[in-house]
Every structure is written in structure tokens, then in C-alpha cells.
């Protein structure tokens, strides 16, 4: 006879895998390079932000994020580990995607200000 705990563990692993796949699908359309102003998209040296799968880089920061927590209305939060300058910070990375065709707003852990970035595609 097989243990019910074995099935529970298998179901838990399957759910974790599926939720990470959903998170990747949600951010798939965000992948690419960004600038702090639309006009900077024509200058490769000013494309200082990049979103890759589970990673966002910018001037003086690097964040690895996962475990999405959609808040609805275009707002999402992710558990993250960020290097801000020379300090490592664990916390919530927030994304405002209400107008993602035009811009994305990012709020880093332990920060109160939003960073607005413009896609350069």
C-alpha cells in the first residue's frame, strides 16, 4: 500500500512546478531592454534596464524574483533577492503593469519610490 504522504508530496511538487510556469508566462512579454525615457531607446548606451526570465537589472541593482502574487488591476508582487549597490535585500519586488505597452513601473524591496521604465523593442 502506498503512503498518502507520498501522493501529497507529489501533488505539492506538481503545483509548485505549474505555478512557476505560470509566472514565466506572465513575464514572458516583459522580456527585453528598457530605458528611463522613451527617447533613450535609440541609444544603446542608455538602455540601462533589462528584464529576463526571473531577473531584472538596472543601474546599481540586480534582482532575482519568483513566486508571483498577482494583486489584480495590473499590479504584481514577487518574492525577490536584490543587490542594491553593495547591499543584499530580501523582500517584495512590485510591478505595475497597468500600461505595460507604454511603460512598466518597478518598486524595489525596501524602497518607496517607483521606477518607470520604457520598453525598447
> What sign has the CA pseudo-torsion 74, 34, 103, 95?
positive
User: What integer pLDDT is reported at residue 35 of this predicted model?
Assistant: 94
pTM for this entry: 0.74
State the total domains in the chain: 1
What are the beta bridge partners of residue 81? 64, 90
Name the average pLDDT for the chain.
81
How confident is the model over 90-110, as a mean pLDDT? 94
Strand ranges, E, within 41-74: 49-52, 55-58, 61-72
Task: Return the ∠ at Cα 57 (arms to 55 and 59), rounded to 5°.
Answer: 165
Which residue range(s) make up the domain with 39? 4-119
Residue in 119, 58, 68 with CA at minimum distance from that of residue 95: 68
How confident is the model over 95-116, as a mean pLDDT? 94
- CA–CA distance, 68 with 102 (Å, rounded to integer): 22
Q: Quick check: 15 pLDDT over 50?
A: no
Phi-psi region of 85 (alpha: psi -120 to 50; beta: other; left: phi over 0): left
Q: What are phi and psi of 44, to 5 degrees?
A: -55, -30
- CA–CA distance, 90 with 66 (Å, rounded to integer): 12
Amino acid at each position: 500500500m502506498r503512503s498518502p504522504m507520498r501522493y501529497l508530496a507529489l501533488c505539492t511538487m506538481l503545483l509548485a512546478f505549474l505555478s512557476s510556469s505560470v509566472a514565466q508566462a506572465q513575464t514572458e512579454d516583459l522580456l527585453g531592454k528598457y530605458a528611463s525615457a522613451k527617447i533613450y531607446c535609440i541609444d544603446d548606451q542608455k538602455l540601462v534596464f533589462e528584464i529576463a526570465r526571473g531577473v531584472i537589472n538596472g543601474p546599481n541593482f540586480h534582482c532575482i524574483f519568483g513566486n508571483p502574487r498577482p494583486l489584480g488591476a495590473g499590479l504584481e508582487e514577487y518574492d525577490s533577492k536584490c543587490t542594491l549597490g553593495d547591499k543584499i535585500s530580501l523582500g517584495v519586488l512590485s510591478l505595475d503593469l497597468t500600461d505595460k505597452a507604454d511603460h512598466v513601473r518597478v518598486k524595489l524591496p525596501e524602497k518607496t519610490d517607483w521606477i518607470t521604465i520604457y520598453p525598447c523593442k
